[in-house]
Amino acid sequence: MNFMKDSLVNTKPMLSLIDPEFKESLARLMTLGGFKYDFNNWKLATVEDMSHYRDALERHLLAHDKGEYIDKDTGIPHLICVAFNAMCLDFLDKKYKLYIPDLTIYNKKLKEYKERKNGKSIN
């Protein structure tokens, strides 16, 4: 067994690459939402509710594009609100099987990039 070859495909996602301040801001937003609505209430949304998250995402993005960087209702950056709504849409896509996660391409690209980074030729 070629350890290098196996380890290329089995690399775990590097969660430490996500900005800790981003994670903390997202958690703050979700904490406010949890107290306002109920914790994890967003997971109960239906396919019909998805337009709510899409509209909210667009409103926060538009506010940011207009130069308003902080949401006046929460004190949280609009882009964090965009990320939350994108996360909700992704969750609901999977919940209602609008797509099924497939890591085939990810694993292929990961192997390719790691081989390139390690100076190996790619066939």
- Average pLDDT of span 45-58: 95
Name the DSSP class of 99.
S
Into how many domains does the chain fold?
1
Does any domain span residue 47? yes
Does any domain span residue 31? yes
Q: Which helix (H) or strand (E) holds 105?
A: helix 104-117
- Average pLDDT of span 58-75: 98
Does any domain span residue 75? yes
Backbone φ, ψ for residue 96 (5° rounding): -100, 20
User: How many Cα atoms within 13 Å fall on the side-chain side of residue 41?
Assistant: 11
Does any domain span residue 80? yes
Over residues 85-113, the pLDDT tens digits come to 999 999 999 999 988 888 899 889 898 99
Q: Categorize the per-residue pLDDT at 12 as very low, low, confident or very high, splitting at 50, 70 and 90.
A: confident
Does any domain span residue 116? no
CB 92 within 8 A of CB 99: no
Q: Which has more confidence, 1 or 18?
A: 18
